[in-house]
Every structure is written in structure tokens, then in C-alpha cells.
Structure 1
Amino acid sequence: MVTSQSGPAQKVRDVVSPVVSAAGLFLEDVEVARSGRRHVVRVVVDLDEDAVGSLGSDALADVSRDVSAALDRHDPVQGEYVLEVSTPGTSRPLTELRHFRRARTRLVRLALRDGRTVSGRLVDAGPDGLRLEGDSGPVDVALDDVARGTVELDFRSTEDEEA
């Protein structure tokens, strides 16, 4: 979720954006919040929208170190702060085409503007719409018809891998 920001969050975004890009990642969000006497700086990164899969913990650790070093060099946050670098995770609502593209191959649930709900494995996502593979076959949904999408936990794929 890219938000319009000003103040400390925009200063942090300006510092970390080139670092995240240099790592081949996408800067999803930056938040700076007060927590007692210090700030919490939250940086959310993700793989490019064409990538399928998850960002590995080694890559996340590498970009965390690079972000921390850049913040130390440029000091965009006054005073003490705690840095949190994370990925959006499965709890992120799917609201933009980029989110849907990143969710390809995952089991998703779509709440449609007409009140219906559609579930299935997201096999394609583009400007013209989404294609899900549901229990009764393929389902095409126009992106404009989606009020909200979520990634569902998929226990079957885990069980299939263990078999």
C-alpha cells in the first residue's frame, strides 16, 4: 500500500527507496510512529509484481541491514528509533493490481461489489481482470468488480507436499 506521506515517513521513504530498489525489491510502505520516547520505523518490502513466491528470510535480512545502514548515514528520524523491516504477509488485503499479481498461484477469496464471494486459486492477474481456478472450473472476474480480496491459508498444498 503506497500512501501519500509527508514529514518523517517521506524522509525515510526518500532514504530507503533507492536501497530497496538496488536490492531488486519493491518498497510497499513506510510508516513512522511514536512509541513512548522513541519512534518505530516500519518499512514493508516485497518482491517485484512479476515474481511468484515469497521473499526469503536471507534476502529480507540483507535488505534490513542495508536499510539500517542508509538510515544511520542520512539520519532522517530525530532521536531514538526501532527499525522494523518486513513483508506484507498473507494478511494484506488485495486492493491493487500489483497485490493480485503477487498473489498468483495462491488460494484467494474475492468479495465482489454485487455482494457475491468467489474463491479459487489465482492463476492470472492483469489490467483486464483476474482468472481463478475454482472447484467448478475457471472463473474470470473483472478487476473493477472486486471490492476486496484476501489470500486464504491453503493447508492442502502443505498436506500434498508431505505425502
Structure 2
Amino acid sequence: MSTTQSDRLRELLEPLVAAQGLDLEDIELSRAGKRRMLRIIVDSDEGVELDACAELSRVIGEKLDETDAMGDGEYVLEVSSPGADRPLTQHRHYVRATGRLVKFQLSTEGGKAAGELIARILGVDDEGLDLEVPGVKGRKATARRLAFTDVAKARVEIEFNRKDKKEEEA
């Protein structure tokens, strides 16, 4: 059974990332001129601080230097958190997006796109999501239940005028 370099890197790096209290979201390996670019994407329920990325980069760099995981060629290592508008693909992503506005691409039984929905995630369980669909033209927001099986794609919408949780509590 053959494994890809990304699989081998994931196996090597996942324990290091977990030891820092983070989740390994993605490993991207690409070319940047003569060098290779290794991008490690990490996240946590509380988000990821710049200092945590720097420390993890140091730890991962040391591990890669002591193993032959990247081979002989030069490479650039980048450790970062996912962007604000990253796709939601796993249950924990939806949990972390609770309270956020999300754009959903809906699927039909055949898996084809069946339109889109923009709604705020109010709650998440094993089967799906409890949503608040914003009202249009002065109408009140409405509640909606959406099963995970009805979601083809989902991505957090960036809100420039979103109230911070601390402001709402005050």
C-alpha cells in the first residue's frame, strides 16, 4: 500500500500539532520556483495566536530536519490558521462557526446544487444545524433546521458590522 508524501507528513506532524492543543486542518505541498512550499494549516476552538504558529513552526522545523520527510531539496515552511472565509467541511468547523453568518450551497438527493442559503448558525448537533435566516426588507428572522446531508458546501461570510459577543453581553 503506497502512501503519499502528504499522508506521511500528516502522520509525522499530527502528534506535534496535538501536543500544542491544536487541530491539524490541512497540509499543502506545492512548488515555489526551485523550492517546495509546505503550508501547515492549524486551528482550535479558541482560534490560533501568532505566537502559537511561531512555536509550532519551530517544533515542526526541528522534526523535519531530523527526519527525511521532505527529502534533500530546499523547502519553505509556513504554519498558519485557516482564513476567515475557509470552507466548513467537518463537524468541528460548524461548532466553531456557531453565531456566525454562513453561506450554504444546498444539495438535492442526487447531489446537484439546489440553491443557496445565507443564515446564522445557532446550534449544531450530530444530524444538522439550527439556523436563523435573516429577514428581508424589515421582516423578522425565521428559524430553520438544516441537515448535514442537505449541505453541499458551506463557507463563513465575513461581516464588517457584526456585533462582538462582548458588546452583546454589555
TM-score range with shorter-chain normalisation? 0.7 to 0.9
- Does the Cα contact within 8 Å between 2:85 and 2:158 map onto a contact in 1? no
- In the superposition, the TM-score normalised over structure 1's length comes to 0.82
Identity %: 39
* Aligned-pair CA distance for 1:152: 0.3
1:65 aligned to 2:58? yes
What's the RMSD between the two structures over aligned residues?
Answer: 2.2
Shift of 1:151: 0.4
The two structures have a TM-score, normalised by structure 2, of 0.79
Q: How many angstroms does 1:100 deviate by?
A: 1.5
Runs of at least 5 residues in structure 1 that lack an aligned partner in the other structure: none
Question: Per-residue deviation at 1:16?
Answer: 1.2
| 1: CA distance, partners of 2:164 / 2:148 | 31
In structure 1, the partner of 2:137 is none
Q: Give the direction of change, closer, same or farther, for the CA distance of 1:33–1:116 in structure 2 (3 Å limit).
A: closer
Residue ranges of structure 2 left out of the alignment (5+ in a row): 109-113, 135-140
Tell whether 2:92 aligns with 1:93.
no
Helix, strand or coil at the partner of 2:149:
helix
| Map 1:30-69 → 2, pairs under 5 A | 30-47=27-44, 51=45, 53-69=46-62
Residues 91-114 of structure 1: per-residue CA shift (max 9 Å, x gap): 322233232122222111112114
1:128-156 C-alpha deviation (Å, 9 max, x unpaired): 11112222132211111111111001112
For the residues of structure 2 that align with 1:97 and 1:89, how far apart are their CA atoms?
A: 17
Counterpart amino acid of residue 153 in structure 2: R
CA shift for structure 1 position 159: 8.5
Residue aligned with 2:162, SS = helix
Give the number of aligned pairs: 153
Question: Higher Cα Rg: structure 1 or 2?
Answer: 2
Alpha-carbon distance in 1 for matches of 2:4, 2:132: 44
Structure-2 residue corresponding to 1:6:
3
Measured at CA, do residues 45 and 125 of structure 1 come closer, stay the same or move farther in structure 2, by a change above 3 Å? same
